[in-house]
Amino acid sequence: IKHIAVFTSGGDSPGMNAALYAIAKAAEKNSIKLTGIKKGYEGLIDGDFINLEAHQLQKLTQKGGTILKTARSKRFMELEGRKKALKTLKENNIDALIAIGGDGTFRGLLAFSEICDIPVIGIPGTIDNDICGTDFTLGFDSAVNTAIENIDKIRDTAESHNRVFIVEVMGRDSGYIAIYSGLVVGADAILIPESAQDYIQLLNKIKNYESEEAFIVVVSEGDELGAELVATKIKEMNSDVELRITRIGHVQRGGNPTALDRMLGIRFGVAAVEALIQSKKNVMVGIVKNQLHFTPFEEVIKQHQINNELKQLLVLFEK
Ligand code: F6P
């Protein structure tokens, strides 16, 4: 391997810059040229490239977002776009590719693998933690920490007014951010897309709620009902409650990555370069039981599950 190109794609997530730094460091150590591709698959198609060196990236591990910028590309969904991307790689003598992104990115990589003879390694970068083949995705821990910082603040005002708050967190179709943040802030109810039972428990609880304290509901944005409908149902069940809705939103995507995410970025980045040197291709690097783990792209995009232990915790804490 003489020349690696790297891009970030889909929603940005804290820790992506740390991964870029690690990739640059490992490339430098192995005398491999490193090219950064701007704006994900869009830049791959158009040849929007920059030179990347470790010393430029060293101080950026603390920064959220991605210095390469990112995008969700419609053109790459078409075969025409993917062919153009491959041509661009070849014209620039790039002989290996690293992609950092979430499930949309991996769907793109799987489609690309049908025509691409250049080895590709993926890094799971998304706040949603919804990727198979890794215990944690890059950015999840930071997003959860941002969510809990915000919910803790909401609790202050909720307790002062004895209000019910419905707090919506991100995660797309995954309830991971809701479970982690809801449990550690001591939420009274946590609603996730993976469970229908949680809603019934919430209604049972709210029936007996006597407006003498705060009541915090954390709801995942992908939950079937959604914050508005949950609010309506709560009001129907107990018309005495004073209720407010807060959507934490994109704040969860930004901010300085936590130590855990910086470290995850560093481990993923170095492992991706080493995997290419060891002739691995079309796999994602993940961490399972604290060990590096490689998963083929077709496995990565399978339906991600919440493990049973976490589901049991929800049942226990929501009673
Ligand atoms: O996939 C990351 C994520 O932040 C999801 O949690 C959320 O549903 C989505 O991206 C928001 O996307 P956009 O930034 O395009 O609005």
Q: How far out from the chain centre does Cα 118 lie?
A: 26
Q: Is the CB of 172 under 6 A from ligand 1?
A: yes
pLDDT over threshold 80, residue 224: yes
Rounded mean pLDDT, 231-247: 94
Lowest model confidence (mean pLDDT) among 179-183, 198-202, 286-290: 198-202
Q: Is the CB of 188 under 6 A from ligand 1?
A: no
Q: What pTM was estimated for this model as a whole?
A: 0.97
Tell me how many helices (H) and strands (E) the chain has.
Answer: 12, 11
Whole-number Å distance between alpha carbons of 83 and 295: 25
CA of 143 to the centre of ligand 1 (A): 12
- Measured CA distances, 213 to 188, 208, 285 (Å): 11, 12, 46
Q: Is the CB of 253 under 6 A from ligand 1?
A: yes
- pLDDT attached to residue 240: 87
CA dihedral over 65, 66, 67, 69, signed as positive or negative: negative
Q: Could you write out the three-class secondary structure of 149-176?
A: HHHHHHHHHHHHHCCEEEEEECCCCCCH
Question: What b-and-e string marks burial along 178-214, b requiring 16 or more CB atoms within 10 Å of the CB?
Answer: bbbbbbebebbbbbbbbbeebbebbeebbeebeeeeb
Determine if residue 126 is labeled as part of a ligand binding site: yes
Q: Is the CB of 222 under 6 A from ligand 1?
A: no
- pLDDT attached to residue 40: 98
Amino acid at 161: H
* Burial class of residue 63 in the structure, from the number of CB atoms within 10 Å of its CB (0-12 exposed, 13-18 middle, 19+ buried): middle
Mean pLDDT, rounded, of the chain: 96
Q: Is the CB of 170 under 6 A from ligand 1?
A: yes
Based on the residue annotation, tell me whether 240 is a catalytic residue of this protein. no
Determine if residue 171 is labeled as part of a ligand binding site: yes
Closest CA to 13 of 265, 185, 302, 282: 265
For the chain, the 3-state helix, strand and coil shares in percent, each to the nearest 5, are: 45, 20, 35
DSSP alpha helix (H) spans, 134-254 = 140-161, 176-184, 197-207, 226-237
pLDDT digits (tens, 9 = 90+) for 241-250: 999 999 999 9
Catalytic residue among 12, 48, 117, 128: 128
Q: DSSP character for 303? A: P
- Around Cβ 64, how many Cβ atoms within 10 Å? 19
Closest CA to 173 of 187, 192, 191: 192
- pLDDT attached to residue 212: 87
Ligand 1 mutation pick, 8, 170, 250, max ligand atoms within 8 A of CB: 170
Residue whose entry in the numeric block shows the structure tokens 């890794």 = 134
Nearest CA to ligand 1 atom 6: 171
pLDDT over threshold 90, residue 54: yes
Rounded mean pLDDT, 25-41: 98
- pLDDT attached to residue 58: 95
This model of the complex carries an ipTM of 0.99
